[in-house]
């Protein structure tokens, strides 16, 4: 029997080659230049046994109906899997997998880079210099804060949150406070970290960094009420998922200098930088926010490992074995 595998978009890394080398598989990679439009996606998956999906593909009831009952696995090329209706998948007996672990370093390093860029005003200073405004050394120019002794609030102590805490705590001498559904005593002991309820964390942190998955319980986790308790000097970093932050409330908080600034790698209505799709929202005009296009996991190392994990999950499930990293 030959299994058909559909890849919704060409991805870097060795995973696709690994699948193609297997004589049991017929691998079809989308040749569309961009995110496969919904209709084309539903048409392309018909009759497939496995689908390698991206976080930009909505995998829902209609998708499973369109694919057909032979579909065995949707391997998501991402650690987050909020694009997939896992209940519908289970109802159709389809295994869902993600890529945990392998992008921890990439996302944690990016988060640290964003935090540093905020605290040292790298972006504004670059623009300033580039536009010819530098007229001589000035003792007041772009004063930033030192991180030593400042407090970082980690919201979501998974692998990524842990690595950020380690780097900023052990490396830069920041005080660590965290919020998570689970209390981690070993972590607390190792880093002198303190668990806090979210409002208390927001009140104390100089930097708040989000590392939670997008779930109904984390949708708009940070909104007006939350911004109102944060320090005026505090910064927010979001490398998790856009809808975890109420973007309208964030824009207001940034505009009114309710908080000092933010770094966003993800957006509520991605790829739009605003939810009304006109891209006219003030967010882009503000000078106290750094905007990047969902690239926190974009290292060659992470993307290669991600492609290998999706390939191994597909091979396992199509050979009747358990998936390596089932999404849960």
What positions carry a catalytic annotation?
241, 270, 294
Count CB atoms within 10 A of the CB of residue 130: 9
Among 13, 15, 80, 261, binds ligand GLV (CB under 6 A): 80
What residues pair up with 7 in beta bridges, in sequence order?
A: 29, 52
79 binding ligand GLV? (CB under 6 A): yes
**Cβ 242 to ligand GLV, closest distance in Å?**
10
Query: Per-residue x/- marks for ligand GLV, 45-74, CB under 6 A?
Result: ----------x-------------------
Residue corresponding to tokens 């605290």: 119
Q: Are 292 and 266 in contact (CB under 8 A)?
A: no
313 binding ligand GLV? (CB under 6 A): no
**Reduced to 3 states, what is the DSSP secondary structure of residue 25?**
strand
Task: For the chain, give the number of residues.
Answer: 328
**Cβ 224 to ligand GLV, closest distance in Å?**
26
Site residues (CB under 6 A) for ligand GLV, limited to 193-212: 211
Residue 84 to residue 63: CA distance in whole angstroms = 10
**3 vs 77 by CB, closer to ligand GLV:** 77
Which tokens go with 321? 């074995």
Query: Per-residue x/- marks for ligand GLV, 129-158, CB under 6 A?
Result: -----------------------------x
Asked if omega into 271 is within 30° of 0 (cis), the reply is: yes
**9 vs 121 by CB, closer to ligand GLV:** 9
Stretches 99-107, 132-140, 172-180, 284-292: which one binds ligand GLV (CB under 6 A)?
99-107
Q: Are 160 and 211 in contact (CB under 8 A)?
A: yes
Site residues (CB under 6 A) for ligand GLV, limited to 100-119: 100, 103-104
Residue 211 to residue 179: CA distance in whole angstroms = 10
**Reduced to 3 states, what is the DSSP secondary structure of residue 281?**
coil
Interface with ligand GLV by CB under 6 A: which residues?
A: 55, 78-80, 100, 103-104, 158-161, 211, 297
């Amino acid at each position: 029997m030959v299994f058909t595998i559909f890849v919704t978009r060409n991805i870097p890394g060795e995973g696709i080659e690994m699948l193609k080398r297997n004589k049991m598989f017929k691998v079809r990679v989308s040749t569309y230049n961009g995110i496969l439009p919904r209709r084309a996606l539903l048409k392309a998956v018909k009759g497939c046994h496995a689908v390698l999906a991206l976080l930009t593909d909505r995998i829902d009831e209609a998708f499973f109906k369109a694919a057909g009952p032979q579909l065995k696995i949707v391997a998501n090329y991402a650690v987050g899997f909020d694009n997939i209706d896992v209940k519908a998948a289970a109802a159709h007996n389809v295994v869902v997998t993600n890529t945990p672990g392998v992008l921890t370093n990439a996302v944690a390093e990016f988060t640290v880079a964003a935090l540093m860029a905020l605290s040292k005003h790298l972006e504004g200073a670059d623009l300033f210099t580039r536009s010819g405004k530098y007229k001589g050394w000035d003792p007041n120019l772009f004063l930033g804060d030192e991180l030593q002794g400042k407090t970082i609030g980690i919201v979501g102590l998974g692998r990524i949150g842990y690595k950020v805490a380690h780097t900023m705590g052990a490396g830069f001498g920041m005080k660590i406070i965290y919020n998570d559904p689970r209390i981690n005593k070993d972590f607390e002991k190792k880093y002198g970290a303190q668990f806090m309820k979210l409002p208390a964390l927001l009140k104390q942190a100089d930097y708040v960094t989000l590392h939670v998955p997008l779930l109904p319980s984390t949708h708009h986790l940070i909104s007006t009420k939350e911004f109102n308790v944060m320090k005026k000097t505090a910064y927010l970093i979001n490398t998790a998922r856009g809808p975890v932050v109420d973007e309208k409330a964030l824009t207001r908080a940034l505009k009114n200098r309710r908080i000092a600034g933010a770094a966003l790698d993800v957006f509520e209505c991605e790829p739009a930088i605003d939810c009304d799709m006109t891209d006219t929202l003030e967010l882009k005009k503000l000078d106290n926010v750094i905007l990047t296009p969902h690239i926190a996991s974009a290292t060659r190392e992470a993307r290669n490992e991600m492609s290998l994990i999706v390939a191994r999950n597909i091979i396992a499930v199509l050979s009747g074995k358990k998936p390596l990293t089932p999404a849960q």
